[in-house]
Amino acid sequence: MIRVTLPDGSAREVARGTTPADIAAAIGPGLAKAAIAARVDGELRDIMRPIEADAELALVTTRDEADALELARHDFAHVLAEAVQTLFPGTQITFGPSTDDGFYYDVMAPATRGPFTMDDLPAIEEQMRAIIRADKPLRREVMARDALITKWQNAGESFKAEWAAELPEGEELSVYWSGDDWMDMCRGPHLASTGKLDPAAFKLTRVAGAYWRGDQNNPQLSRIYGTGWLNKKQLDGHLLRLEEAAKRDHRRLGQDMDLFHLQQEAHGSVFWHPNGYLIWRELEAYMRRAIDGAGYKEVKTPQVMDARQWEQSGHWGKYRANMFVIPDEVPNVDDEGPVISGDADWMALKPMNCPAHVLIFRQGIKSYRDLPLRIYENGCCHRNEPHGALHGLMRVRQFTQDDAHIFCREDQIVEEVQAFCALADRVYKEFGFTYSIKLALRPEQRFGSDADWDKAENELRDAVVRAGLATTEFGWEELPGEGAFYAPKLEWHLTDAIGRTWQVGTIQSDRVLPERLDASYVGEDGARHRPVMLHRAIFGSYERFIGILIEHYAGRFPVWLAPVQAVVATITSEADGYAHDVTAKLKAAGIRVEADTRNEKINYKVREHSVAKVPHLLVVGMREAEEGKVAIRSLGSDGQRIMTLDEAIDMLSHEATPPDLR
């Protein structure tokens, strides 16, 4: 007999090999029906898996949503794989986990056909439903590793065989049977049968290529994605959320609101339209006020530098594949087009600003009294990114960073990092973001001794602790192996209005580049010392940050950022004169305002400016003209507020004031 302790503290003596399902049945028929899995000593397990020793047992029901979703999604993935193999014999299966909103399975289509496409999905979905309706029991079986490898090899499942062969020798591996005719190697757990899944709670969403084991050098498989839930209501809710997110897509809003465009002749580089560039200019002005107040000096450095400079900084060796390289020569003017002689020196567009900032530091002789020296630049960089990586404003080939480098002494690092934490905190809050901070620790491939890394990691950790931000409330987390090769880094992850996260800000300490580029200062002792260089950014890049803001605000920018802050719209042409007066006064008060005196009905104008997300619409007809008032209709509200022109100017001026100036 073994002793099983339940969450309420009660214990039961049961025969060895009793299953959680047996215990649920013994407790009551309601629980027997509701229980879908079990936690045995904290580990999630099949409800039909026998308990072999004394244990703490908690039965899992669909009310334990996180566990239930995880189980269901994992099962959906198995059902997907079974369906694909049933429909397309010869397909090899590989790996199929659950995801944040569903599941996927990577399969290798049989050689007789190409990769799977979207067109295959409806039939696969139908087959999955058939498997669910058949309510096939999911049975766990333990097999010897070697027997399993042989079995996979015989079945022509080379990927599965390869994988099993990498698991420790002599280990027993579990497989799961779906009925008696299909199995997959899997650690589990699973629901008791396919019928526990809701056939209306999943949808296959897309097909994409994915490399075997995530390695570019391996064969590419077909990854079939699905979204999976416990019931149809959850699925519908999820699909609705996806639609809502799609409406916020910055590429769509960028076009609708006439903010920017991209075109193939300059792919990966943004054409900013007047409306979009107004947002940029406001952000730039905001950031200048921020860095001026925080003791930074702004600089501007060359776009193109000689390759020798990049060799010295190390970029030529490590980063050249992503650099735009240009010959320093006058092109021929023959009809055939430019020919590169091969004799010219190479130059390159800067992919980063750091070396140029070190070169500024190196001009003249710096004293310890000059430190910390904080050099800021709205630095326009070019990086030749893999074409498949480009994405709207989020990943571009030309971008402008809010980039600064702080040159300081060892003993100033913690203080500087702490000050940066405070600055970043203020900025992110003023844009309405919450955030978490993560510390990316030393990677496998790195420069420097372990002692140096201990020191560098401690400095960053220390600063965040002292800033009081290293708490779970701020999502503090340490990420082993994620640091840069020369230094650990702190990362700021923003959470936007609909709960998505974006990594933007960063600060990292660097002792490598000052060494390579021979930056030094004269210390109190009269000797030369190496400064430490802190690389830091808050927006990350203007392009990406604006993209994030568009999605965060769903295009409804706060007034201070809105490209057009107000429109004065007339009801009849008799009010045109008054409308122009109002517009002129608002302009004089610094409001970005336009007059709409077109020959259109007020309904039309209201609709158009609402769709364009103009924050305030000032409607004027003869009534307002005679009384010197305006009727303000604000975005997001149906009503109107009648007020005098002076009151309106006060209100708009206040709202149009950037948060840091209020």
Which residues are CB-neighbours of 30 under 8 A, at least 6 positions away?
A: none
Helices 413-430 and 274-293, axial angle in degrees (round to 10): 140
Q: Which is nearer to RNA, 118 or 340 (CB)?
A: 118
For RNA, the binding residue among 97, 117, 123, 478 (CB under 7 A) is 117
∠ CA(375), CA(281), CA(293), 5° rounding? 40
Nearer to RNA, 14 or 390 (CB): 390
User: What are the structure tokens assigned to 344, written together?
Assistant: 């010219």
Residue 322 CB, shortest distance to RNA, in Å, is: 7
Would you call 383 a catalytic residue per the annotation? yes
Whether 315 sits among the annotated catalytic residues: the reply is no
Residues 6+ apart with CB under 8 A from 67: 37, 39, 44, 60
Of 186, 354, 380, 408, the active-site residue reads 354
Bridge-based pairing of strands 477-479 and 220-228 is unpaired
Q: Site for RNA (CB under 7 A): which residue of 319, 324, 447, 476? A: 319
| Contact with RNA (CB under 7 A) among 367, 471, 573, 644 | 573
Applying CB under 7 A, among 611, 628, 646, 657 the residue interacting with RNA is: 611
Q: Figure out which of the listed residues 89, 168, 214, 499 binds RNA, where binding follows CB under 7 A.
A: 214
CB of 237 to RNA, least distance (A): 19
Which tokens hold the place of 305?
Answer: 């530098």
Instruction: Name the DSSP letter for residue 269.
Output: S
Q: How far is the CB of 483 from RNA (least distance, A)?
A: 7
> Can you tell me which of 359, 484, 522, 589 binds RNA, judged by CB under 7 A?
484
Q: Would you count residue 453 as binding RNA (CB under 7 A)?
A: no
351 binds RNA (CB under 7 A): yes
- Residue 211 CB, nearest distance to RNA (Å)? 4
Binder of RNA out of 12, 145, 391, 409 (CB under 7 A):
391
Stretch that binds RNA, among 327-335, 410-418, 602-610, 653-661 (CB under 7 A): 602-610
Q: CA-to-CA distance for 296 and 537, rounded, in angstroms?
A: 13
The question of whether 354 is a catalytic residue gets the answer yes
Q: Do you know the residue count of the chain?
A: 662
Q: Which of 382, 461, 489, 605 is catalytic?
A: 489
SS3 category, 370 = helix
* Cα–Cα dist 200/628, whole Å: 61
Rounded Cα distance between 143 and 132, Å, is 26
610 binds RNA (CB under 7 A): yes
| Binding span for RNA by CB under 7 A among 161-169, 386-394, 407-415, 651-659 | 386-394
Could you give phi then psi for residue 455, rounded to 5 degrees? -65, -50
Closer of 367 and 572 to RNA (Cβ): 572
Is residue 206 at the binding interface for RNA, with CB under 7 A as the rule?
A: yes
88-111 burial, b if ≥16 CB within 10 A, otherwise e? beebbbbbbebeebbbbbbbbbee
* Chain center to CA of 461: 23
Q: Do the beta carbons of residue 223 and residue 209 sit within 8 Å?
A: yes
Nearer to RNA, 74 or 529 (CB): 74
- Cα of 488 vs its chain's centroid, Å: 20
Residue 64's nearest CA partner among 24, 34, 25 is 34
- Least distance between RNA and beta carbon 461 (Å): 18
Beta bridge partners of 139: 177
Closest CB to RNA among residues 210, 349? 210
Residues that are catalytic: 354, 383, 401, 403, 405, 489, 535
Footprint of RNA (CB under 7 A): 114-115, 117-118, 206-211, 214-216, 220, 222-223, 225, 251, 255, 262, 264, 267-268, 315, 318-319, 351-352, 385-392, 395, 443, 483-486, 570-574, 599-604, 606-607, 610-611, 617, 619-624, 631, 633, 635, 638, 640
